[in-house]
């Protein structure tokens, strides 16, 4: 899609935050132009910075395993991050960096229009489930403006905390049902309480 390529070109030329000075390559995200499923992680790591592709290190391999567990390959889903350049030493992205980069992801989502958007990790969670904690919000879908938002732990969390592996695997296994029932899930109203109190099924 021409507009998506244009966003990627703008990302490649972007110097709007300090991360532009330390990056090797920008990581705009990748996948089909009309994905049903879109994953949003946090920030590129070393491997991603070298290759200009998202989720290509150990966490990416686990994400591919998780996708395989529901019968999908990574080229069937779109994968991106909250910020498009690697923070030095893999530190957390700073608020001003997240803010400077936000419009790129917003434009990508508007162009891609997935049925289900899965947040991976706490920075992605904070963007789409403001005020929620990952321990409460994970595995609980909400639908707004035609997209089901579904929070999961970051795959890297399972590499550091093996006890989370099963939780992540179980949350992933709920995604096919979300895709199937996308048209039957009611929209959350803006004035309704946070996601933890919504009953969608």
Q: In whole angstroms, how close is the CB of 22 to ligand SF4 at the nearest point? A: 10
User: Within the chain, where are the H helices?
Assistant: 2-13, 19-22, 46-51, 58-69, 95-112, 122-128, 134-137, 155-160, 165-172, 175-180
Give the residue among 112, 50, 115, 46 at the shortest CA–CA distance from 80: 112
Closest distance of CB 59 from ligand SF4, Å = 19
Q: Closest separation between CB of residue 123 and ligand SF4, Å?
A: 12
C-alpha dist (Å) from residue 153 to 26, 28, 51, 122, 148? 24, 21, 24, 8, 17
Least CB distance to ligand SF4 at residue 82 (A)? 9
Pick 6 or 133: Cβ nearer ligand SF4: 6
9 or 192: CB nearest ligand SF4: 9
119 near 125, Cβ under 8 Å?
yes
Residues near ligand SF4 (CB under 6 A) = 11, 14-17, 19-20, 26, 83-85, 97, 100-101
Nearer to ligand SF4, 18 or 185 (CB): 18
User: Would you say 104 or 150 has its CB closer to ligand SF4?
Assistant: 104
């Amino acid at each position: 899609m021409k507009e998506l390529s244009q966003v990627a070109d703008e990302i490649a030329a972007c110097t709007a935050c300090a991360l532009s000075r330390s990056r090797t390559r920008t990581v705009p995200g990748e996948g089909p132009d009309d994905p049903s499923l879109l994953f949003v992680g946090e920030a590129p790591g070393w491997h991603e910075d070298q290759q200009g592709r998202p989720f290509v290190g150990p966490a990416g391999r686990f994400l591919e395993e998780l996708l395989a567990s529901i019968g999908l390959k990574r080229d069937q889903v779109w994968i991106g991050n909250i910020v498009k350049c690697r923070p030095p030493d893999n530190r957390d992205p700073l608020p001003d960096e997240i803010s400077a980069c936000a419009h790129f992801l917003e434009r990508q989502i508007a162009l891609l229009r997935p049925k289900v958007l899965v947040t991976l990790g706490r920075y992605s969670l904070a963007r789409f489930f403001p005020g929620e904690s990952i321990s409460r919000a994970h595995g609980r879908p909400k639908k707004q403006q035609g997209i089901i938002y579904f929070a999961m732990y970051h795959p890297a969390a399972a590499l550091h905390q093996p006890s989370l592996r099963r939780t992540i695997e179980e949350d992933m296994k709920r995604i096919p049902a979300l895709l199937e029932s996308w048209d039957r899930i009611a929209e959350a109203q803006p004035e309704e309480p946070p996601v933890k109190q919504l009953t969608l099924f």
